[in-house]
Structure 1
Amino acid sequence: MQVFKDRVAVITGAASGFGREFALIGSRLGMKLVLADVQQDALDKTKAELEHQGAQVLAMLCDVRHAEQVQALADAAMKRFGAVHLVFNNAGVGSGGLIWENTQSDWEWVLGVNLWGVIHGTRIFTNLMFECAKSDPQFEGHIVNTASMAGLLNAPAMGVYNVSKHAVVSLTETLYQDLNLVEAPIGASVLCPYFVPTGISQSHRNRPDDVKGDVPTSSQRAAQAISDKAVSSGKVTAQEVAEKTFKAISDKQFYIFSHPGALGNVQEHMEDIILQRNPGDPYKATPHIREMLRAKLKM
């Protein structure tokens, strides 16, 4: 996708973090913006900021766990702007703890947003883009699904999150291959950020009542504390990741990494599989984190 001006971008999780930065760059490039989020106050603030910059903006509350709400978002985008060219399936939440301590509600919430949200967005908007392409011979589209480095690694006490993000990587790789198979005018990329200050470690603030969690276990409290520290201390900003993402779209680059230096861990993980070794120590380079986690589990 080479042209952004006057094209339409749909962004889920648009009120904060990566989503907000995608919107700000889209505005700067002259795009028309469709913003979706579950937090009304933050959504209103982002919409007002973008409109002040002169952008055309449609903002909607949307819980991406529900297909009918994602479909309503697509319908509203078409009614307002007549086409969709760029989609960021970006809404995401975080949750940790020992995997056997995660409740059914934990699984339903995290998979509902992180995986089913991407499934709904991919299915609905890919089909919509094909329809747009039928009436526009010059149509160019692109879909960016936000996964994580957790989609390529398996750190302990992050099981629910790891599962959701591995699935997003697989889904997006398959989407890329399927689009190429039919020679579609639509590209695909997967964004795999590492520790970037986005607020995801505090995503429980928007956890819906129908999947409310129980009193956190010691492992969930420990995972929360470590996640808070790791995310808040990240040196790469959401803005930098968003800029890298738009460049990747222009360059038709599939894998987008916020921290390429962390790929050595991915390589070692792949070698474990190929060489049929048992999974390696995720804390080999940072044993103090392992000991910190163990100490908190004993509290």
Structure 2
Amino acid sequence: MKTFKGRTAVITGAGSGFGLEVSRIAAREGMNLVMADVQQDALDRAVEEIRGLGAQVMGFRLDVSKAAEVESMGEATRARFGAPHLVFNNAGVGAGGLIWEHSLKDWEWVVGVNLMGVAHGVRVFTPMMVEAARTDPSYEGHIVNTASMAGLLNAPNMGVYNVTKHAVVAMSETLYQDLRLVTDQIGASVLCPFFVPTGIHQSQRNRPAEMQESDVRPTKSQLIAQAMSDKAVTSGKVTAAQVGQFVMDAVREGRFYIYSHPKSLASVQTRLEDIMLGRNPTDPFALKPEIGQGLRQALRATD
């Protein structure tokens, strides 16, 4: 996708983090913006800022896990701007803990946002984009789905998050291949960031009431996971603004895989070698055994 000016971008999770940074870049490039977020106050601030950059903006407070809400945004987008050119399915939440300790509502919430939120975006907007490509030889489109390095690795004590992010990678790779069957005018990418200072470690602030279990206290593993996530995310050296630029550069270049920390791919290679050689999964803490030992001791300690 070579041209941004005068075209339209749909961005979920646009109130902060990667979504807001991509919105800023898109606005400076002269794009129209459709910005969605579940947090009303953050969305309002973001929309006001992006309008201040001179962009035409529609803001939608929505929960991406709700099919009807994404469908309504799609209809409104088509009515005002026509088929979008860039769709950034970016909204996501984080949750950790031993995989058997996730409650049913944990699974429903994280799968609903991280996986079905992306699925709804693909389902609603891709047909519009394919139709536009068929009727307009000059049309260019691109879809970016936010996964994670947790979609290429399986760190312990991050069960439900790992599961959803692997699914997003699989969905995105399939989307890329499926698009190639029907058009040369629409590309796809998957964003796989490592630890970057965003608000994802505070996802519980936007957890819907119907997805909460007031009578269930966090387990030891979940409290440990939260503490580790807080530390890792807030101490990240690569910024959300840098990742936003990585995303837009990849869209312009037609590049599928987008990484924030390319050096972490060494661990991905080790995992793939485990698979190819049929060996048991390598200890993820092999290079930092003190972290693994500390985690094991904390989980095995009796209260």
Find the counterpart in structure 2 of residue 223 from structure 1: 225
Structure 1 unaligned regions, length at least 5: none
Find the counterpart in structure 2 of residue 265 from structure 1: 267
Q: Are 2:86 and 1:86 aligned? A: yes
Within the candidate set 286, 289, 293, 1:287 is matched to: 289
State the 1:244 CA deviation: 1.0
Q: Is the 8 A contact 1:223 1:293 kept in 2?
A: no
Alpha-carbon deviations, 1:103-150, whole Å to 9, x = none? Answer: 010000000000000111011110111222244221000000000000
Within the candidate set 234, 242, 254, 2:236 is matched to: 234
Q: Are 2:198 and 1:211 aligned? A: no
State the 1:185 CA deviation: 1.4
Find the counterpart in structure 1 of residue 95 from structure 2: 95
Runs of 4+ with >3 A deviation: none
Aligned partner letter, 1:121: G
State the 1:53 CA deviation: 1.4
Q: How does 1:73-152 map to 2 (within 5 A)?
A: 73-152=73-152
CA distance, structure 2, for counterparts of residue 210 and residue 193 of structure 1: 29
Q: Is the 8 A contact 2:271 2:281 kept in 1?
A: yes
State the 1:296 CA deviation: 3.3
Q: Is the 8 A contact 1:87 1:144 kept in 2?
A: yes
Alpha-carbon deviations, 1:2-47, whole Å to 9, x = none? Answer: 0000110000000001000010000110100000010000000001
Aligned partner letter, 1:263: L
Q: How does 1:28-39 map to 2 (within 5 A)?
A: 28-39=28-39
Find the counterpart in structure 1 of residue 247 from structure 2: 245
Aligned partner letter, 1:284: A
Find the counterpart in structure 1 of residue 163 from structure 2: 163
Q: Is the 8 A contact 2:130 2:183 kept in 1?
A: no
Q: Are 2:7 and 1:18 aligned? A: no
SS at match of 2:18: helix
Aligned partner letter, 2:47: K
SS at match of 1:88: strand
Find the counterpart in structure 2 of residue 296 from structure 1: 298
Find the counterpart in structure 2 of residue 68 from structure 1: 68
Structure 2 unaligned regions, length at least 5: none
CA distance, structure 2, for counterparts of residue 230 and residue 92 of structure 1: 17
Q: Is the 8 A contact 2:133 2:183 kept in 1?
A: no
CA distance, structure 1, for counterparts of residue 293 and residue 233 of structure 2: 19
TM-score between the two structures when normalised by the length of structure 1: 0.98
CA distance, structure 1, for counterparts of residue 55 and residue 294 of structure 2: 47
Aligned partner letter, 1:149: M
Q: Is the 8 A contact 1:17 1:238 kept in 2?
A: yes
CA distance, structure 2, for counterparts of residue 84 and residue 34 of structure 1: 9
State the 1:184 CA deviation: 4.0
Q: Are 2:190 and 1:190 aligned? A: yes
RMSD: 1.0
State the 1:54 CA deviation: 1.1
